[in-house]
């Protein structure tokens, strides 16, 4: 009973700390314990984080004090999103990078400043790994729908301009003495 009361007291004290320092506010986009969502309720004992799928997590305030909390909208609502894209080595790299930026610029949620940027991440086994970096101002609207819209636009433009998205391929070579069909 004493341990249980200690946890409740800890949550209440933590709640007062959170309310006083205003590190978390209603409407903030946060990630706590691998749960991302919008803070919909803030009490002296817990907060409610509503995920994009509609689920609501009730998180005790002492968890917020004792673990790392990512507040995606603490001082600035602008959020960077990296979208990975791989192209084949046979594709026009500079044109592909231009297409990535153009597709991002056309999306209404992508901020004009800072502007979208295409980066070469690495020369991978199956192709050139690029990343499209975009900034948004409304993280509460989610990232999956934005990624899907942009990926669909990239797909359409890549097809139109003959830029290939590679798939894993392996070449197998058999090395050894050759034998003819008779076995001799």
How far apart CA 100 and CA 153 sit, in angstroms, is 9
The predicted structure's pLDDT at residue 174: 87
CA distance linking residue 12 with residue 64, whole number of Å: 12
* pTM for this prediction: 0.67
Is 23 in contact with 47 (CB distance < 8 Å)? no
Confidence at residue 29, expressed as pLDDT on a 0 to 100 scale: 87
3 state SS of 66: helix
* Contact assessment for residue 88 and residue 165, using Cβ atoms and an 8 Å cutoff: yes
Q: What 3-state class would DSSP assign to 84? A: strand
Side-chain-side CA neighbours of 154 within 13 Å: the count stands at 24
Identify the sign of the CA torsion 8, 10, 16, 18: negative
- By residue count, the chain amounts to 184
For residue 164, what are the CA distances in angstroms to 1, 70, 132, 167, 181?
A: 64, 37, 16, 9, 40
Residues of the chain with pLDDT under 70: 1-21, 178-184
């Amino acid at each position: 009973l004493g341990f249980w009361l200690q946890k409740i007291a800890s949550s209440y004290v933590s709640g007062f700390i959170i309310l006083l320092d205003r590190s978390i506010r209603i409407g903030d986009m946060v990630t706590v314990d691998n749960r991302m969502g919008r803070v919909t309720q803030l009490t002296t004992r817990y907060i409610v984080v509503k995920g994009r799928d509609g689920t609501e997590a009730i998180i005790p305030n002492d968890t917020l004090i004792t673990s790392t909390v990512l507040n995606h909208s603490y001082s600035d609502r602008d959020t960077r999103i990296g979208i990975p894209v791989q192209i084949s080595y046979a594709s026009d790299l500079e044109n592909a990078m231009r297409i990535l930026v153009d597709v991002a610029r056309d999306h209404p949620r992508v901020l004009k400043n800072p502007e979208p940027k295409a980066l070469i991440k690495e020369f991978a086994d199956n192709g050139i790994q690029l990343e499209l970096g975009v900034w948004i101002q409304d993280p509460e609207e989610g990232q999956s729908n934005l990624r899907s819209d942009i990926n669909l636009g990239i797909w359409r433009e890549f097809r139109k301009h003959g830029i290939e998205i590679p798939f894993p391929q392996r070449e197998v070579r058999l090395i050894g003495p050759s034998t003819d069909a008779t076995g001799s």
